[in-house]
Homo-oligomer: A and B are copies of this chain.
Amino acid sequence: MSNDTQLKRVLVTGGLGYIGSHVVLSLLLSQRYLPIVIDNCHNAFPEAVKRCAEIARDELGPNAPQPLFHRADLRNAAEIDAVFEKYAADGGIWGVVHLAALKAVGESGELPLSYYRVNVAGTISLLESMQKNNVNNFVFSSSATVYGTPEVIPIPETSPLQPESAYGRTKAMVEEILHDVCRSGTLERKSPLKAVSVRYFNPAGAHPSGKLGEEPRGKPGNLLPLLAQMAIGREKSELKVFGNDYPGSPDGTCVRDYLHIMDLAEGHVLALDAIAVPESQPNIFSNNDARKDGFYRAFNLGRGKGQSVLMMIEAMRKATGFNYQYEIVGRRIGDVPDLTANPALAEKELGFLAKRDLDSMCRDLWNFQTKNPKGYEPSA
């Protein structure tokens, strides 16, 4: 059915992670891109790439494209160069989806140098490898945290970048670096860099097959995986809700914009598709001021629907049947009252529409959790 050599090779850094693995799957299912996964397995398991391959075969048949995996660490430029060079003779790598990063907001305040090393210096090093190997198509995994405490809700892409954590600063810095590199055109490189930053709101859920999902090492840092692990009995810790006096929230708890992980993953494919449009045709860069922006764009990937913490607990109660007990405690430092996207630009320009609803997210998450009570570990 598919001939792997006709697919555009896309390096997916951090491709074993929760978002990365679903991006890899979406690339396979698109039948336009062949994912080449690199990951250092810091917080993820190689099993994820096997699961992607399995789902692709389930859906597309035995000739489905198969992902490739190389264990490599962004902090080691030689390892990354080697991956680019491995494919150079054979048509090379067409583009990069860069997700590899440290990602815990709280931890970033404790280990800032590690965050800057991996997220900022690692990206600079990756961009150098790309430049050396004349790879010029780039999708960057950014985050709604770059907006800090935004003034306008829902948040448009024009909101100022004013992150309030070291993690958020690493993401905003990379966006600025990309913007500068794109703006410089071909002054420093053979072909101009075309880059899209996708600013994630709150990804949730899992692939509906139950074969792929969020599988953090250690205690989950995010609400939904925690709720799922509590329901399966893997996580006994008490559930704390930080603050119920936030203004503008239906029940006073923090509001976030959850979107289904498969919607988010497909957003990356749409971003690559948009970058791949030839310059002779109207494309997402057509209206850019070349001197000011080059080929650089940033898009929100969200649903545009705010959900409070208590609404999420209730949705998970419906999906799991588990009777969550929670305690309302004081606000947590660094929490922003409301992070709801204005997704209009991504819909207009990328054709992005997060269509899976909250019940799907909770159902698919629970399906994954029950089928993988211990995650991807060998006993699973």
Q: Interface segment, A115-123, A142-150, A267-275?
A: A115-123
A250 within 8 A of partner (CB): no
Q: Interface segment, A79-87, A104-112, A256-264?
A: A104-112
In the complex, which residue of chain B has the Cβ closest to the Cβ of A118? B124
The 9 closest A-B pairs by CB, nearest first: A112-B180, A121-B121, A110-B187, A166-B180, A121-B124, A111-B188, A116-B124, A112-B184, A116-B177
In the complex, which residue of chain B has the Cβ closest to the Cβ of A333? B291
CA distance A112 to B180 in the complex (A): 6
A105-163 residues with Cβ-Cβ distance < 8 A to B are: 109-114, 116-117, 120-121, 124-125, 127-128, 131
Interface 1/0 per residue, A186-217 and B, CB below 8 Å: 01110000000000000000000000000000
A–B complex contacts, Cβ < 8 Å, 24 sampled: A109-B180, A109-B183, A109-B187, A111-B184, A111-B188, A112-B177, A112-B181, A112-B184, A113-B124, A113-B127, A113-B177, A113-B184, A113-B188, A114-B188, A116-B124, A117-B124, A117-B128, A120-B124, A120-B177, A121-B121, A121-B124, A121-B125, A166-B180, A169-B176
Name 6 extra pairs, CB < 8 A, besides A113-B124, A117-B124: A110-B187, A111-B188, A112-B180, A112-B181, A113-B127, A169-B180
CA distance A112 to B109 in the complex (A): 28
CA distance A110 to B184 in the complex (A): 5
A173 within 8 A of partner (CB): yes
Residues of B within 8 A of A177 (CB): 112-113, 116, 120
* Residue total for A at the interface (Cβ-Cβ under 8 A): 27
Q: Which of B110, B120, B121 contacts A188 (CB 8 A)?
A: B110
Assuming the contacts A169-B176, A173-B173, A176-B169, asked whether A184 and B120 have C-beta atoms less than 8 A apart, the reply is no
In the complex, which residue of chain B has the Cβ closest to the Cβ of A189? B113
Residues of B within 8 A of A113 (CB): 124, 127-128, 131, 177, 181, 184, 188-189
Among A117, A125, A131, max chain B CB count under 10 A is at: A117
How far apart are A64's CB and chain B's nearest CB, in angstroms? 37
In the complex, which residue of chain B has the Cβ closest to the Cβ of A193? B113
Assuming the contacts A120-B120, A124-B121, asked whether A109 and B184 have C-beta atoms less than 8 A apart, the reply is yes
CA distance A112 to B184 in the complex (A): 7
CA distance A173 to B181 in the complex (A): 16
CA distance A166 to B112 in the complex (A): 22
Assuming the contacts A166-B180, A169-B176, asked whether A187 and B111 have C-beta atoms less than 8 A apart, the reply is yes
Among A124, A131, A169, max chain B CB count under 10 A is at: A124
Among A109, A110, A113, A124, max chain B CB count under 10 A is at: A113
Interface 1/0 per residue, A308-334 and B, CB below 8 Å: 000000000000000000000000000
Residues of B within 8 A of A114 (CB): 188
How far apart are A81's CB and chain B's nearest CB, in angstroms? 14
CA distance A125 to B75 in the complex (A): 11
Residues of B within 8 A of A188 (CB): 110-114
Residues of B within 8 A of A120 (CB): 120-121, 124, 173, 177
